[in-house]
Amino acid sequence: MHESDNVFDGSVPRLYDNYLVPLIFEPYAADIVNRLKSLRLSRVLEVACGSGVVTRAMASALDPEVEIIATDFNQAMLDYAAAKPATRAMSWHCADAMTLPFDDGMFDAVVCQFGVMFFPDKPKCFSEAKRVLRKGGTFLFNVWDRIEENEFADLVTTSLESVFPDDPPRFLARTPHGYHDLSVIQADLEKAGFHGQWRVETVPARSRAESSRIPAIAYCQGTPLRNEIEARDASRLSEATDTAAGAIAAKYGPGEVDGKIQAHVIVAFCD
């Protein structure tokens, strides 16, 4: 992972929330909340909450007596999430997933939507999730499947090879879509102490937008892919976005676009 892969600042949190959240995150936020609703909960921890799409979905769907605590390592994203309207009060903390500032056994569930791919030491982060779970608690997280199963992300990545042929930006393939091997995930869970007590479901969905520019802006300007583009030549951000939009329009047409997305949803249990 490159150092810039974890940098979400400037206009990125706003663009991420306005463009990327409805494009790819909302369907899986609903999926996570639906899974939580079947559990007996009094306190839930969310790790790597980003702009708060899952946090707000939990606030709306879970019993009002369930305490929700959301954390993220990136202060800019956390500030953006905390400032958004919500149906009830929640707690927000800037925290490192590898050293969670909570006591053992505090939570009935730990949730992480598309965040574990960014953790530098995944077994350590998984063991921290297990530590703060009560006996019988649930660790629920999802990860993107390989980039070829996520059509817009794949197309954006390949299109930028024409803009920077000598050093194409690979953030999307490297990090968001770089932790899809279920055997690796299983090994990391085993190292963290989740010995065989987990299950996985591969969940496809659709990514829809009114035009090809929306996914182009979402990925090129609303993720750390922007950092890679600007590191090569900041003056070419608009060109890179236009190139990505053109590639999507060439495949899906000039109007509304509709592409496949796919993720693995993992549920692990604390013994």
Domain borders along the chain are: 3-146+171-206+262-269
Whole-number Å distance between alpha carbons of 185 and 105: 23
62, 36 in Cβ contact below 8 A? yes
Residues 222, 252, 249, 247, CA torsion sign = positive
What percent of the chain clears pLDDT 70, i.e. is strictly above it? 99
pLDDT of the residue at 1: 64
- Distance from C-alpha of 243 to C-alpha of 249, rounded to nearest angstrom: 10
Alpha helices in 175-236 (DSSP H): 182-191, 213-221, 225-233
pLDDT at 186: 96
Spatial contact of 48 and 115, defined as CB atoms under 8 Å apart: yes
The amino acid present at 45, given as its one-letter code, is: L
Of 261, 172, 171, 160, the C-alpha closest to 209 is: 261
Which class would CATH give 3-146+171-206+262-269?
alpha beta
- For the chain, helix, strand, coil in percent to 5 are 45, 20, 35
Q: What is the pLDDT of residue 133?
A: 98
Neighbours of 113 (CB within 10 A): 26
The ranges of the chain with pLDDT < 70 are 1, 3, 7
CA-to-CA dists, residue 114 to 21, 53, 70, 227, 247, angstroms: 12, 11, 14, 19, 26
